[in-house]
Chain A
């Protein structure tokens, strides 16, 4: 173990403080700089839509499997989107080895909120025959490596996979109840907005850090997650922790807006 590693193990807070005091982070970034983002779409051939996103070393893969089902009687013309993320020991030792972890349940709901608050998907678009047949999109996300900011990466993976989604044409005969799937005609779904999620942490109350690594997350005072789309805010979440001054908050919103523009331009490049 090198001297530096030893120092970091013994006093992680002081280690990080020494860096941020000089407006620098242990991996060489500026305080509000993001790690390089890599987007890969249609990565899984058997899935209807898929994507792999890397942010630094944090990696999330998303595959969407579409199935046909009967809609819920309270919302007969709405399809379903079921995001399900797996956070296992595979990606970080902090997660439980077996069973559905609390973290993944919470992240599922967060992903769901981010997706629907922005009005990104219109669930009626997934309807084939009202009250009879709708699409269910099982969005399975697997985190391969958790080095911080998993939510940002997961939500981007989900959006990219949804954007790359291709559904076959389905004919449903109301009288005979026969379902015919035509694989030759494939159509994507219309995404009305693309929410981009950005996570920030505060450290020692005064330092704001964008795109934290897992080491930084573990000693953060508080998290702030901001989702933006089309210059508007669609989700702001701060779960307690230390309070932020309103100027700090405003600068974070500005940063999130910048990040959104960058990610959208990346997505536009891929889906040209």
Chain B
């Protein structure tokens, strides 16, 4: 089936509202939808919900021969599938749809090429036997921003997954232990990269966080930033037709870093909870429990975080440029934010949030300024939204 045609009215309505800082689902531009994570009974199975978008991820493992180029490393394979369950116009099988390939590729770059999984620990006998990990991601409901949802699901599933323990007996032999003999071994994750997607509007001037399916279709471009909780950028992807300023990307990456930190915290807290339940000997009830608690319907209330990241700087830039001020101002703003160090993945300010972050690695070459913007968890003030309006109406 073909995708339903988007009418011009719908399109211009969404565009115009975004110019006024309004969104169809009442969020403000930097607000994310509710996030939910539900673990199944099996290790490495998780449902991730982002608003109405739902994704199911399952990690599985198997022994095989390693690649000759990397004889002492296991492998990780990621497979994203979007069928008619996700949205009626999507089809399964070959040829894969473009959106599916794109999500798959970005996830590969985020998870595999950032080397977040310790693949060397998956080696049993070099050049002979290694563990192959496979992450299967089934998109259940496509209500926009499948990218973020899949990424969170994949990371949570990998963190939740445990493989059977293996003992090598020398002379190339090994024993795979069943869970009854020896406890399962978790996968070693060096860091948790989280994708954060922004849809760009108004000639690449307005980034909109966590776009819905409608906003995705209307937007000019989409910017995906994968950031881990150390505020390191793992992957960046800009698709679509939009000439975006580097400042905007910097601002977005900063917001993404904050978002990522919170999501990682959230994943860890849920994982701990699940781990504690399992340690107590309570067999996890899996998805049955989620259903019983009515957690899974789109209006669930449990285990959710609401993301509202204040981002006044963007407004600043947009304002200055829209008011036709000199470019010096913009440069100054960049200077204020210490981007000149070249290492712009470290666009971090040593505010309370990051200094309290235990995972912060020692960063020796971080240059910060006192005037750095603070990314705080608070609602948009009326003031700032008025500011936005004035820009638009200018």
A/B touching: CB–CB < 8 A: yes
CB of B63 within 8 A of chain A? Answer: yes
CB of A269 within 8 A of chain B? Answer: no
Contact residues of B between 49 and 81, Cβ < 8 Å to A: 62-64
CB of A73 within 8 A of chain B? Answer: yes
Give the distance to chain A from B93, nearest Cβ to Cβ, in Å. 11
Count chain A residues whose beta carbon lies closer than 8 angstroms to a beta carbon of B.
2
Residue of B nearest to A73 (CB): B63
- Residues of chain A within 8 A (CB-CB) of B63 are 73-74
Measured CA separation A74–B176 after assembly (Å): 9
Give chain B's interface secondary structure class. Answer: strand
Size range of the chain B interface in the assembly = under 10
Contact residues of B between 110 and 131, Cβ < 8 Å to A: 129
- Residues of chain B within 8 A (CB-CB) of A73 are 63-64, 129, 176
Give the distance to chain A from B317, nearest Cβ to Cβ, in Å. 54
Residue of B nearest to A131 (CB): B173
Measured CA separation A74–B64 after assembly (Å): 10
User: What mask results when residues 161 to 186 of chain B are scored 1 for a CB within 8 Å of chain A, else 0?
Assistant: 00000000000000010000000000
- Residues of chain A within 8 A (CB-CB) of B176 are 73
- Residues of chain A within 8 A (CB-CB) of B64 are 73
Measured CA separation A74–B62 after assembly (Å): 9
Residue of A nearest to B173 (CB): A131
Measured CA separation A163–B176 after assembly (Å): 36
Give the distance to chain A from B181, nearest Cβ to Cβ, in Å. 16
Measured CA separation A171–B219 after assembly (Å): 67
Residue of A nearest to B63 (CB): A73
Residue of B nearest to A70 (CB): B65
Measured CA separation A73–B63 after assembly (Å): 7
User: What mask results when residues 63 to 79 of chain A are scored 1 for a CB within 8 Å of chain B, else 0?
Assistant: 00000000001100000
Contact residues of A between 72 and 129, Cβ < 8 Å to B: 73-74
- Residues of chain A within 8 A (CB-CB) of B62 are 74
Measured CA separation A73–B175 after assembly (Å): 11
Measured CA separation A165–B38 after assembly (Å): 52
User: What mask results when residues 45 to 75 of chain A are scored 1 for a CB within 8 Å of chain B, else 0?
Assistant: 0000000000000000000000000000110
Give the distance to chain A from B134, nearest Cβ to Cβ, in Å. 15
User: What mask results when residues 155 to 172 of chain A are scored 1 for a CB within 8 Å of chain B, else 0?
Assistant: 000000000000000000
Measured CA separation A74–B174 after assembly (Å): 12
Measured CA separation A268–B176 after assembly (Å): 44
- Residues of chain B within 8 A (CB-CB) of A74 are 62-63
Measured CA separation A74–B60 after assembly (Å): 14
Give the distance to chain B from A234, nearest Cβ to Cβ, in Å. 29
Give the distance to chain B from A182, nearest Cβ to Cβ, in Å. 27
- Residues of chain A within 8 A (CB-CB) of B129 are 73
Give the distance to chain A from B175, nearest Cβ to Cβ, in Å. 11
Give the distance to chain B from A177, nearest Cβ to Cβ, in Å. 12
Residue of A nearest to B64 (CB): A73
User: What mask results when residues 138 to 152 of chain A are scored 1 for a CB within 8 Å of chain B, else 0?
Assistant: 000000000000000
Residue of A nearest to B172 (CB): A131
Give the distance to chain A from B131, nearest Cβ to Cβ, in Å. 11
Give the distance to chain A from B94, nearest Cβ to Cβ, in Å. 11
Residue of A nearest to B129 (CB): A73
Measured CA separation A74–B63 after assembly (Å): 8
Give the distance to chain B from A73, nearest Cβ to Cβ, in Å. 5
Measured CA separation A176–B192 after assembly (Å): 46
Measured CA separation A14–B129 after assembly (Å): 64
Measured CA separation A139–B176 after assembly (Å): 32
Measured CA separation A73–B64 after assembly (Å): 8
Measured CA separation A73–B129 after assembly (Å): 9
Give the distance to chain B from A136, nearest Cβ to Cβ, in Å. 17
Measured CA separation A73–B176 after assembly (Å): 10
Measured CA separation A90–B64 after assembly (Å): 39
Give the distance to chain A from B284, nearest Cβ to Cβ, in Å. 25
Measured CA separation A73–B61 after assembly (Å): 13
Give the distance to chain B from A19, nearest Cβ to Cβ, in Å. 42
Give the distance to chain B from A175, nearest Cβ to Cβ, in Å. 12
Give the distance to chain B from A255, nearest Cβ to Cβ, in Å. 39
Residue of A nearest to B65 (CB): A70
Measured CA separation A152–B129 after assembly (Å): 42
Measured CA separation A74–B166 after assembly (Å): 13
Give the distance to chain B from A99, nearest Cβ to Cβ, in Å. 11
Measured CA separation A74–B131 after assembly (Å): 12
Measured CA separation A95–B36 after assembly (Å): 46
Give the distance to chain B from A77, nearest Cβ to Cβ, in Å. 14
Measured CA separation A94–B63 after assembly (Å): 41
Give the distance to chain B from A204, nearest Cβ to Cβ, in Å. 35
6 contacts between A and B (CB under 8 A): A73-B63, A73-B64, A73-B129, A73-B176, A74-B62, A74-B63
**Shortest Cβ-Cβ A-B pairs, 5 listed:** A73-B63, A73-B129, A74-B63, A73-B64, A74-B62
Partner-A contacts on B (CB < 8 A):
62-64, 129, 176
